[in-house]
Amino acid sequence: MSVMLYGLSTCPYCRLTRTYLEENDVEFDSLEVDLLEGSERTDAIATVKEISGGTSFPVVVIDDEVIVGFNKKRIKELLSL
């Protein structure tokens, strides 16, 4: 299972999502988009727009499923927690 978290360092919902994943021992990759610079930041924003249809954060990708916002119930379902 693949889990990716796109977030912002200043976003409380991004922190909640990260904490929830960590507390449940979920292995995940993450990017704090606002801490990136130059083309890395531009590319990350383009990716978020492409997969989520906008620029709201956090964006969690679990395999092929995209979750926008901290949707604890949906994350729990997809990860069988």
54-79: per-residue pLDDT in tens? 999 999 999 999 999 999 999 999 99
State the total domains in the chain. 1
Query: Does an H or E element contain 21, and which?
Result: helix 12-23
9-50 pLDDT, tens digit each: 999 999 999 999 999 999 999 999 999 999 999 999 999 999
CATH number for the domain spanning 42: value is 3.40.30.10
> Which pTM does this prediction carry?
0.93
The answer to whether residues 32 and 41 touch, using CB atoms and an 8 Å cutoff, is no
Name the band, by pLDDT with cuts 50, 70 and 90, for residue 1.
confident
58, 56, 55, 44: which is closest to 16 by C-alpha?
Answer: 58
Range of the domain at 66: 3-79
Structure confidence at residue 8 (pLDDT) = 97
The torsion angles phi and psi of 27, rounded to 5 degrees, stand at -80, 130
Residue with tokens 């200043």: 10
